[in-house]
Chain A
Amino acid sequence: MPLYFELYGVAALLTLAVLAVPASIAAVGRRALYGATLTVCLVALAADAFAMATRFTATAVLPLGLPWIGMNLRLDPLASYFLVVINLGSAAASLYAIGYDRHESAPWRVAPFFPAFLAGMNMVVMAADAFTFLFSWEFMSLASWALVMAHHRERGNAHAGFVYLVMASLGTLCLLLAFGLLAGPEGNYVFDGIRSAHHAPLVLALVIALALVGAGSKAGIVPLHVWLPLAHPAAPSPVSALMSGIMTKVAVYGFIRIVFDLIGDSGWWPGMVVLVFGGVTAVIGVLHALMEHDLKRLLAYHTVENIGIIFIGLGLALAFRANGMTAAAALAVTGALLHVLNHSLFKSLLFFGAGAVLGATGERDMEQLGGLIHRMRGTSALFLVGSIAISALPPLNGFVSEWLTFQAILLSPALPQWGLRIVIPGIGAMLALAAALAAACFVKAFGVTFLGRPRSDAAQNAIETDRASLFVMAALAALCLVIGLLPGLFIDAVAPAAEGLVGGSMPSQSRLAWLTIVPIAESRSSYNGLLVFLFIALSATLAAAVIHRLASNKLRRAPAWDCGFPDPSPMTQYSAGSFAQPIRRVYGTLVFRASEHVHMPRPGDVAPATHEVTLRDLVWEWLYLPVASFVSYGADRLNHLQFLTIRRYLSLVFAALVLLLLVLALWL
């Protein structure tokens, strides 16, 4: 039954996409459209939550697509979990879009593709055969590309769209090859058939590599992440939240489905590969985020970091599962899956906040903002909650998934393989480093944007955003808090999905007293978010009460002390670049070949001094530029084929034919 709700939901979304073409001309039509999308997503969310709660599994075959296999769809616990994530984020984005619509400069370019994008994402998760999966994947990519190109006349957006399209095509090609290999010579494209077929180890290795490249490029694994910080900020804010928070999770789902479910047992070394990629991605993502001063690009790079954290959990789960350590694998995969939900929540919240700032001030550059906490009180408070959540600080939800991942790492000395035992401590250090740097990054992001004094007129005259946006941000913040306080409920909700993947699940958390969570056994470690929150609240209240009693409650406003040297100009306060400077000095020379140069004018010269910071993206320089120049070189050489004589063309055809016949003769 929930499967049919989902299917009708997808059909409704596609219909809305078509209807949006005429309806998006009027503002009220657009609001109605987003309202309709919101309703559909909420209904689908309810159906999926029901499916998850009842461990519902069903399949359906529609007479569309390839004639001999049809369109196979399947709803199992893993799919319903991801559908909950998708539909929750989609509902939030739809509600936000209702409010954001007034800031949108080309809404008729956004409105038709928005429901199509949502429909594509839902279809990918439900697909149960390779054709449906790839078709929906491409549909999702193209719909999101159209959304990225909505403001194609703005500087840099066309380039972003181009890079996105190239990377998306690369991803689909790799997935196509992976499914081709899995389907085998008989062409068994249905997932059930693939699951039961037996594959040679070399084929499995190739498939895992292709799945990592294909799904990983859409998720944002380093070195395939370069499109994320270009494309996510270029799209309108509700779409940025969807792409960063939800579409990357669809890619994670694709990877999980192929590697955990379709392939089955594949040995321990894929776990190590995924672990290493995850760790490197996490650290590089957050370092890039620290160097950014565009608010949306910073958030996009942060998505890269969190995807790295998710893949660390998945790699651990693969390694544990290959060695039969089911409980540890369940812990690792639960941490990864819970982080999927957590990240979609707080990343959407943060992007909505960034969108609110963009709408209120017209600026994405942090160096032009500041002091917004006075002008946009609601947005700043909610952005603060999102920042605390993403920095993995208790008692919010980011801490829970990181804690689970750390506990999984602490179980890994029991692994027998030496490669894993040497690598995992390093990955643990990288995870801790990424978490600490994430906190630094969000102190910078929140501090420079919202705190301090306004650095421009736009920041000085900002007004609070509309109520719909505030409502949806508050709802997401509340969800972050709820997950942080009651993590046991959500761990139990994830358990059916985890069980399907690794064959076991974490101990049932709801049995434990006081809503604690326990990773393996109570003697090992436990955490109680609710109690921690209560303790902090009680301590703060107690302190406030005591102070109210004993201390003076006088307060006087005065100019800032600033050690006796206050400067009225807001430019003397720390900017994003200056905040990041110590960290840039420590990490930047290695990772970015960062160099700083101060140019002082000669005495008597009235020109200002300039401070230049050069950062090089080594991934771009070492991987993409050589590939691009090689492709250019090859194209130049092949261009000679345009100017051949007729006879030479004929000779080409002839030579091809003779060659094929020779091959035929030799092979048969």
Chain B
Amino acid sequence: MPSMAFDTAHLLAGGLVLVSFVLLYQDRLYGLLNIYAIHAVALSASVAWQAYLQGAPHLYVTAGLALGFKAVIIPVALRRIIERLGIHREIEPVVGISLTMLAGMGLVALAMVVMLKVTTEAAPLAREDLAFALAVVLLGLLMMTTRRNAVSQVVGFMSLENGLILAATGAQGMPLVVEISFAFSILIAFIVIGIFLFRIRERFDTVDLQALHRFRGEAR
């Protein structure tokens, strides 16, 4: 395998991890959505490069899907929901940003160690891809658990999905069917979450989780 191809793939996957870090760093909701769009673009680029490297044309479709759904449609839709609901635009993390970043670093290290140990017989490209993908997944989870705002949790969930798709494309031979189901599951989850947010908004006039906890009697 030409090393330039290897490096490009490496670069794109690493870029995805970097964008995940940037996602963690965001404290404004619109900024979060924009960075998420970039996340999706990076994903589609990485998938397209994989399609080229592996000679698997169906992955181009995946890249297109990622670009279309996740880079454009979903951020736009979320932006409109935020405007409709009048959601509080600041994202308050549970622990400080610096601590979150440190945790993120630790998670990436963990992902690397685990993946490199587990996949000793696989091709080097696939191994690195998987390592990066696991890192993205863990960072997405970190985002979900350290954010109080429901929308930011949804974005964390979706970045987690991006990491899974990266892993799926990194391992050769995953069929298209699964990717469509992936996309659809995201869509459905998004719709459900949207409805959920609507109803919370109707009842409590807010989707700020901390305010919601006050109503449940469990304010921190």
Do A and B pair up? The answer is: yes
Residues of A participating in the B interface, judged by any CB pair closer than 8 Å = 643, 645-647, 650-651, 653-654, 657-658, 661-662, 664-665, 668
Q: Does B111 contact A (CB under 8 A)?
A: yes
Residues of A within 8 A of B107 (CB): 658
Q: Is the CB of A651 within 8 A of B145?
A: yes
Tell me the chain B residues, 154-204 only, with Cβ under 8 Å from chain A: none
Closest 7 CB pairs of A and B: A651-B145, A668-B117, A654-B141, A665-B113, A650-B145, A665-B114, A650-B144
Q: Does B209 contact A (CB under 8 A)?
A: yes
Q: List 17 A-B contacts (CB under 8 A).
A: A645-B209, A646-B153, A647-B94, A647-B147, A647-B209, A650-B141, A650-B145, A651-B145, A653-B141, A654-B141, A654-B144, A657-B138, A661-B111, A664-B117, A665-B110, A665-B113, A668-B114
Interface size class of B (residues with CB under 8 A): 20 to 34
Q: Is the CB of A646 within 8 A of B209?
A: yes
Give B143 Cβ to nearest chain A Cβ, in Å. 10
Residues of B within 8 A of A657 (CB): 138, 141
Q: Does B4 contact A (CB under 8 A)?
A: no
Residues of B participating in the A interface, judged by any CB pair closer than 8 Å = 94, 107, 110-111, 113-114, 117-118, 134, 138, 141-142, 144-145, 147-148, 150, 153, 209, 213, 218
Per the bound structure, the CA–CA distance linking A662 and B113 in Å amounts to 9
Residues of B within 8 A of A650 (CB): 141, 144-145, 153
Residues of B within 8 A of A653 (CB): 141
Residues of A within 8 A of B114 (CB): 661, 664-665, 668
Residues of B within 8 A of A646 (CB): 150, 153, 209
Q: Is the CB of B110 within 8 A of A662?
A: yes
Per the bound structure, the CA–CA distance linking A646 and B113 in Å amounts to 30
**Best-buried of A647, A653, A668 by chain B (most CB within 10 Å):** A647
Per the bound structure, the CA–CA distance linking A645 and B146 in Å amounts to 12
Per the bound structure, the CA–CA distance linking A432 and B150 in Å amounts to 74
Q: Is the CB of A647 within 8 A of B110?
A: no
Q: Is the CB of B218 within 8 A of A643?
A: yes
Give B102 Cβ to nearest chain A Cβ, in Å. 14
Q: Is the CB of B138 within 8 A of A658?
A: yes
Closest B residue to A663 using CB positions? B114
Give B129 Cβ to nearest chain A Cβ, in Å. 17
Closest A residue to B140 using CB positions? A654
Closest B residue to A652 using CB positions? B145
Per the bound structure, the CA–CA distance linking A657 and B117 in Å amounts to 17
Give B137 Cβ to nearest chain A Cβ, in Å. 9
Per the bound structure, the CA–CA distance linking A647 and B118 in Å amounts to 30
Residues of B within 8 A of A643 (CB): 218
Residues of B within 8 A of A664 (CB): 114, 117-118
Known: A647-B153, A654-B142, A657-B141. A668 touches B218 (CB 8 A): no
Residues of A within 8 A of B118 (CB): 664, 668
Residues of B within 8 A of A654 (CB): 141-142, 144-145
Q: Is the CB of B110 within 8 A of A658?
A: yes
Per the bound structure, the CA–CA distance linking A645 and B210 in Å amounts to 10
Give B122 Cβ to nearest chain A Cβ, in Å. 14
